[in-house]
Amino acid sequence: MPSLSDTTVRGAKPRERPYKLFDERGLYLLVTPTGGRLWRLKYRVHGREKLISLGAYPAINPLASTRSRLMAQAVLPLPLPTSRRSRTVRARN
With respect to residue 38, please indicate whether it lies within any of the assigned structural domains. yes
Domain count, the chain: 1
pLDDT band at 66, cuts 50/70/90? confident
Cα separation of 35 and 26, whole Å?
A: 22
**pLDDT in the model for residue 74:** 76
**pLDDT in the model for residue 21:** 94
**pLDDT in the model for residue 1:** 46
What residues form DSSP beta bridges with 48?
Answer: 45
With respect to residue 84, please indicate whether it lies within any of the assigned structural domains. yes
Which residues are CB-contacts of 16 (< 8 A; sequence separation ≥ 6)? 33
Within 10 Å of residue 24's Cβ, how many Cβ atoms? Answer: 12
Range of the domain at 28: 6-92
Within 10 Å of residue 83's Cβ, how many Cβ atoms? Answer: 9
With respect to residue 59, please indicate whether it lies within any of the assigned structural domains. yes
* CATH code at position 21: 3.30.160.390
Give the residue with greater pLDDT, 56 vs 83: 56
Length of the chain: 93
With respect to residue 1, please indicate whether it lies within any of the assigned structural domains. no
Cα separation of 24 and 30, whole Å?
A: 14
